[in-house]
Amino acid sequence: MRTIFTNGCFDILHRGHLELFAYAKSLGDRLVVGVDSDEKVKQDKGSDRPINSLVDRMIMLASLSDIDEVHSFDSPEGLVGLVRKVSPSVMIVGSDWKGKPIVGSAYAGEVKYFDRIEKYSTTKIIQSIVNW
């Protein structure tokens, strides 16, 4: 069985996320998604985030047909432990991470990059609502 892994906040789901999951699932049999805890999102994105709680984000992700398992983590060390446990054949990360260290990649068979779809981002969605 070929396991694929990706991770992120996935705060407000949008088309870019769905295309990421479809791409990731197309590479294997089982897609495992890691989700940043609320505390980690606050650290990384600011005190106004996340919009949706960890529980809500995990329930939404688990309901998607491309995703087979959803797990949370709350630190870089937690992410390493999760990737080590999952031991994926492929780890998918955004192409904006090219040339940067990928946390947990030592426990993945290979790393593949997904080109983000520029017009879709949670930050842009939040900004458009604020400016409305």
56-96 confidence digits (pLDDT tens): 999 999 999 999 999 999 999 999 999 999 999 999 999 88
13-51 confidence digits (pLDDT tens): 999 999 999 999 999 999 999 999 999 999 999 998 999
pTM: 0.91
Contacts 24+ apart (CB under 8 A), 51-58: 51/11, 51/12, 51/122, 51/126, 52/11, 52/12, 57/9, 57/10, 57/11
CA distance 124 to 119: 8
